[in-house]
């Protein structure tokens, strides 16, 4: 049996509450719920149990100091000119990029194919389809969004379980950021 994995940072409750308060104003958007709010550091995808164990063990050997993150602005991802994801951005952070690069090296070291997409730190607010209303009013209203900063002292390896009502994300192993 394979596991659908990703590595992410979970924002603290106060940040998640503030993000949930934003979730309105785009007709037919599939808003994320509290349990789905995270900042993906690396999507892994389908992985066999042996490789999942190797990854979990290798991540446990990483050393990274705690650092701060902040939410900054909103935006959307598009495919062929059609928006599919509404997100909040993460303010530029060298420690975040450092952690993400370390995680990428660990993934490759256990045989996971290198990530081909550029790292774009964000937290997904909603999934969109062609029946969704216009995004421009939402994007304009929240363009200057700034939340935080908050202290990042953990990140986790998650398993994603696909369900009709949306994915369920289960933390498998949580790792501490320690000096």
Would you please indicate which residues are annotated as catalytic (active-site) residues? 38, 122
Quote the distance between the C-alpha of residue 167 and its chain's center. Answer: 13
Distance separating alpha carbons of residues 57 and 132, to the nearest angstrom: 42
**How many CB atoms neighbour CB 7 within 10 A?**
26
Alpha helix segments (H runs only) across the chain: 13-22, 49-59, 94-109, 136-141
The token pair at 167 is 């994915």
């Amino acid at each position: 049996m394979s596991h659908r994995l990703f590595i992410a940072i979970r924002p603290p409750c106060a940040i998640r509450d503030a993000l949930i308060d934003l979730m309105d104003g785009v007709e037919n958007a599939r808003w994320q719920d509290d349990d789905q709010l995270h900042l993906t550091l690396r999507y892994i995808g389908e992985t066999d149990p042996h490789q999942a164990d190797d990854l979990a063990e290798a991540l446990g050997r990483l050393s990274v100091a705690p650092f701060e993150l902040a939410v900054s602005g909103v935006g959307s991802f598009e495919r062929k000119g059609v928006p599919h994801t509404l997100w909040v951005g993460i303010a530029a952070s060298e420690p975040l990029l450092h952690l993400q690069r370390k995680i990428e090296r660990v993934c490759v070291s256990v045989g996971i194919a290198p990530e081909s997409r550029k790292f774009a730190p964000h937290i997904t607010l909603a999934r969109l389809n062609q029946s969704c209303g216009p995004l421009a009013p939402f994007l304009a209203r929240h363009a200057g969004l700034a939340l935080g900063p908050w202290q990042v002292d953990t990140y986790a390896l998650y398993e994603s379980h696909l369900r009709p009502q949306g994915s369920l994300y289960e933390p498998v192993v949580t790792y501490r950021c320690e000096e």
